[in-house]
Amino acid sequence: MDTGPGFFLSPFPDETLHSLLSRYCRLTGFASVRQAFSNVEHSYTFTRNTSFPCHLKESERLLKPVTGLDTNALISRHTLLPYFQPFMSPEQLVMTRRQMESRNGQGLKMRLGLIASSLERYVRVRFCPVCLAEDDQKHGQAYWHRVHQLPGVWICPHHVQPLSIIEPVWIRDKATRCFLPTDDNLDAHALALEVSAIQRDRLYRLAALSWSALDRDCDPLQHHVLQQNLLRGAQAHALVSSTGRLRLTPLADMLSIYFKGLPSAGEFSRLCPVRAKQAPSWVLKLLRKPRGAHHPLHYLLLADALELNFDDLAVQRSVQMPMSKSIATKVTAKTGGLAHTLKEMYSEGHSLRQIGAVTGVSVSTLHVYAVQLGIHVRARPSILLPALRQQIRDQLVSGKAFSEVATDCSVSLASVYRVLRMETDLKDMLSGLRVERDRENRRLRFIMERERNTAAHACTDYAWLYRNDRVWLKGKVQCIRKIARKRTAVIDWPSLDRELSLRIRECVSSLRARPGKPLRISVALIGRELNSSTLFEKKLLLLPICSLELKATCETLDQFHHRRIEWAAKELRARNAIFGAATLLRFAAIRPPEGNAASYLMKLINEA
Ligand SMILES: [Zn+2]
């Protein structure tokens, strides 16, 4: 017979579920909650120290006999969900509760926008030393309070004492260990949060607001109710203009002063303004379009900055902000100048748009003013007339940019897009035209690059054309190759031949006249001198005059040796040397090809 655990566990006020489970484990003698619940399926989803423990139906099975708590009580009294739920939509709340009761927590924080806010990581293990002493006295056991774990809570809302934090790095991988705040080994890893005297008051107010949100356990407040209440707070600080627009610079200034009274570390570093003179984007979202999920700390911080308490934030009023009435009052009482300008310019035939451009007031606002002043203004056309539609269509098809079309047709850019949405075939047609134009541009660019003799593969658009326009590309590559060949054939060979032959003659004369030991006049030497070696090697057939000139001027070996010997004899005589045939040939650096030196010398002299 199962007699149950044999003890009763009394849940404490504002105790976290993890604290309750830790105390349960101590009574059963286990060292960690995971060990204590190892035989329970999905125990890992509710034994972790986290904001949204899941599979709570299973924990209910274990805890109800000893604590008397069912799942609903566990969620509303021992998890952080009551802190989040005023700022959720009813659908989000239903989904979250269902997931916490009987599913795992996969994707939960993502859907609630907590991952995006990046504030969830600042849910820390914190405690208030005064609370610990008080709990010990009152309940005989110190425990973890939910409110101390909330991001933005650095001060105990009950004792106005700075909290102590367990080193996040140390506790990170110990989320399933059953620590209680009085454990000896926690002392070494607990740090007191540093709070200056200036920050103390502001942090206390924020902690009290967080405690209100958590303790009330109230139903979801609608986003527009929260927005209206925040705007009302902003209006009280003159941060909303008479036309209902936010006054961004005073708002940024106010927030900048507000954040100076808060710590710059931890969660506050994620929330403070990034740029001077600019309100953080989350503030503008809450005041303008609070769609989707926002972290409660966003709402609470802004409410505190606007000096609203939780009741001010949560109050539901049946009457909306009397914005149009206030505009009417302003128009008649304070904005007489604008009213006068509006009347005068409208009577002169100017449109509201033109008046708006002069006065810097939006057309919608001017329209409201005009109605209040009894001016008969035409209602802004909500239907695009067929002729205008056709005009916009034609201009789009002709390939003009959207902004250009808007200017030419005197409509807004939004209207151009409206026409695009209305004309179902237009979008496909424009898309086809765009592709066509793109292809034409690429083809043109390819041809231009090829004609500059860029290799086909090196052209910018080769890869795109190869993938999307291969037939054209292949044809073009061959065709352009032919053009390139023709271009190389247009060299005027006859005139080059004439010109080069003259230069050969001049070159040979200068070589012969050059002082010093004579060099043999050959095709190679002339080629080197005229920088035309390649032409002589490869294109001599195209240069007949040059060919004849080279034949006529280049020396045979005997002619060259004869010239060398003449030079050598002259040199030796100039030095008054007595020399024979062998000395002469040696001085001329000539090796006789056959026979002795004297006979070769005689042969050369005779030939000459
Ligand atoms: Zn305390």
CA of 148 to the centre of ligand 1 (A): 9
pLDDT digit string (tens) for 232-280? 888 888 888 877 788 888 899 899 888 888 888 888 888 888 777 888 8
Cα(23) to centroid of ligand 1, in Å?
20
Which residue did the predictor score with more confidence, 490 or 433?
433
DSSP, collapsed to helix, strand or coil, labels residue 177 as strand
Distance (Å) from CA 117 to ligand 1 centroid: 28
Kindly give the distance from the C-alpha atom of residue 158 to the centroid of ligand 1, in angstroms, as a whole number: 5
Q: In which band, very low, low, confident or very high, does the pLDDT at 383 lie, cut at 50, 70 and 90?
A: low
Reduced to 3 states, what is the DSSP secondary structure of residue 539?
coil
Among 361, 365, 387, which residue's Cα sits nearest to residue 377?
365
Q: Is the pLDDT of residue 188 over 80?
A: no
Q: How far is the CA of 126 from the centre of ligand 1 (A)?
A: 11
351: which 2 tokens? Answer: 């449109």
Residue 256 Cα to ligand 1 midpoint, Å, equals 30
Q: Which residues contact 510 (CB under 8 A, 6 or more apart)?
A: none
Instruction: Tell me the backbone φ, ψ of residue 145, rounded to 5 degrees.
Output: -95, 145
Rounded to the nearest whole angstrom, what is the distance from the C-alpha of residue 602 to the centroid of ligand 1? 130
Q: How far is the CA of 455 from the centre of ligand 1 (A)?
A: 79
Residue 299, pLDDT > 50, answer: yes
Q: Determine the distance separating the centroid of ligand 1 and the alpha carbon of 155, expressed in angstroms.
A: 8
- Give tens-digit pLDDT for 199-236: 888 999 999 999 998 988 888 888 888 888 898 888 88
User: What would you report as the CA-atom Rg of the chain, rounded to the nearest whole angstrom?
Assistant: 48
pLDDT for res 330:
41
How would residue 607 be classed by pLDDT, with cut points 50, 70 and 90? low
CA distance 373 to 350: 17
Sequence-ordered list of residues with C-beta below 8 angstroms from that of 517, at least 6 positions apart, any chain: 564, 567, 589
Ligand 1 center from residue 147 Cα (angstroms): 10
> What average pLDDT does the chain have?
82
Cα 341 to middle of ligand 1, angstroms: 62
Ligand 1 center from residue 257 Cα (angstroms): 28
Q: How far is the CA of 152 from the centre of ligand 1 (A)?
A: 15
Domain boundaries, the chain: 1-217, 221-314, 323-372, 493-554, 558-607
pLDDT digits (tens, 9 = 90+) for 486-519: 555 678 888 999 999 999 999 999 999 988 889 9
Distance 131 CA to ligand 1 centre (A): 4
Say if CB 294 and CB 113 are below 8 A apart.
Answer: yes
User: Rounded to whole angstroms, how far apart are CA atoms 403 and 405?
Assistant: 5
Residue 152: other Cβ atoms inside 10 A: 23
d(CA 493, CA 16): 99
Q: 362 in the Ramachandran plot: left (φ > 0), alpha (ψ -120 to 50) or beta? A: beta
Contact between residue 170 and residue 189 where contact means Cβ atoms under 8 Å apart:
yes
| Residue % of the chain over a pLDDT of 90 | 14
Confidence at residue 477, expressed as pLDDT on a 0 to 100 scale: 82
If you measure from the C-alpha of residue 133 to the centroid of ligand 1, how many angstroms do you get, rounded to a whole number? 9
Q: What is the pLDDT of residue 332?
A: 42
**584 Cβ contact partners less than 8 Å away, ≥ 6 residues apart:** 565, 568, 569, 572, 597, 601
Question: Model confidence over 400-426: pLDDT tens digits?
Answer: 888 888 888 888 888 888 888 777 788
